[in-house]
Amino acid sequence: MKGADAEDRAALHLQALGREVLARNYRIPGGEIDLVTREADGTLVFTEVRQRRTDRYGSAAESVTPRKLALMRRAVLSYLAREVGQEVGCRLEVLTIEGGAKSGTLTLFFVD
């Protein structure tokens, strides 16, 4: 699975930032969250991982469409209702890897 290498690297990077990985590839019909992590202060962070070896078809960040974000938000609401059941601080982000999954440049973007 080619996306798994990028997600593995992303998870290790987020753990190095002090986060605990709670879930990987959380799926609901029509949506998915690649990584769910928790920061030391309890904030839940829902991360979409995108990797592009080349920019031939656009950058990794450009591949995150408004539709993808809408599906991600839907999955986040499901996760919060099913797995958390209480009000907690949370946010969405996109982690991109430009270049090879194991050696490309990592960038985190926060989603409004």
CATH code of the domain in which 58 resides: 3.40.1350.10
The whole-number pLDDT of residue 2 equals 63
The whole-number pLDDT of residue 109 equals 93
pTM: 0.92
The whole-number pLDDT of residue 54 equals 85
Indicate the number of domains in the chain.
Answer: 1
Structure tokens at 17: 């930032």
The whole-number pLDDT of residue 27 equals 93
Residues 23, 28, 30: CA angle, nearest 5 degrees = 130
> What digits encode the pLDDT tens for the residues 52-73?
988 888 889 888 999 999 999 9
* 57, 9 contact by CB (below 8 A): no
Under-50 pLDDT residues of the chain: 1
The C-alpha atoms of residue 8 and residue 44 are separated, in whole angstroms, by 19
Q: Which domain holds residue 52?
A: 2-111
